[in-house]
Amino acid sequence: MDIAAAAGTTCVTCGTDTTNQWHDCKDESGNKICRSCYEKNLLDVAVAAGTTCVKCGTDTTSQWHNCKDKSGTKLCKPCYNKNQLDVAAAAGTTCGTDTTLSWYNCKDEPGTKICMSCYKQNQLDVAAAAGTTCVKCGTDTTSQWHNCKDKPGTKICRSCYGKNEGKNKKAGKANEE
């Protein structure tokens, strides 16, 4: 809901007029409820339905996930996230960490995973080994390389690419006026 449409809106449950997200009230058509009341309502519905986490037994969470291990059961959000870590760790990792939700396939060791931190470091190592340098600033260290549009066949670092994109957007806006 945009700001103009939200002006004058109050939550039918708690009466607040400030929230970062409004939801339609299912009990009272045409009325709105704030995000906090909406999430509390989700929790209340889960409790009323008898939903409990198959891992920890809680009946309150902001988000439920289907449990793949036991059909028809649910996992609370914290247990789901922990399960994601456990699955990744069980799959084998090269650095031994189990504290990331972003895993990448390891190209050097098929069948193993690397965490986001190791993946980014590997990108830096590969670029350095290839002798890649930014044609704009001369750096050989960046988390992401981009093809240089000004000089085909060359690369620019993430920082220079971002600066260049900012200039292009400003120039585009100036041309529209």
CATH number at residue 27: 3.30.50
pLDDT digits (tens, 9 = 90+) for 6-22: 567 888 888 888 888 88
Whole domain around residue 16: which residue ranges? 1-49
| Total domains, the chain | 2
- By C-alpha distance, which of 45, 44, 42, 24 is closest to 33? 24
Q: Strand ranges (DSSP E) for the chain?
A: 22-24, 32-34, 64-66, 74-76, 103-105, 113-115, 145-147, 155-157
Indicate the helix (H) or strand (E) that contains 167: helix 158-176
Q: Classify residue 54: in a domain, yes or no.
A: no
| pTM for this entry | 0.34
Where is the domain boundary, 49, 66, 88? 49
Mean pLDDT by 10 residues, the chain (177 residues): 61 86 80 84 64 84 78 83 63 60 72 75 68 86 81 86 68 54
The answer to the question of residue 113 being in a domain is no
Would 94 be classed as within a structural domain? no
15, part of any domain: yes
Distance of CA 1 to the CA centre of its chain: 22
Decide if 70 is inside a domain.
no
Q: How many CB atoms lie within 10 A of CB 64?
A: 18
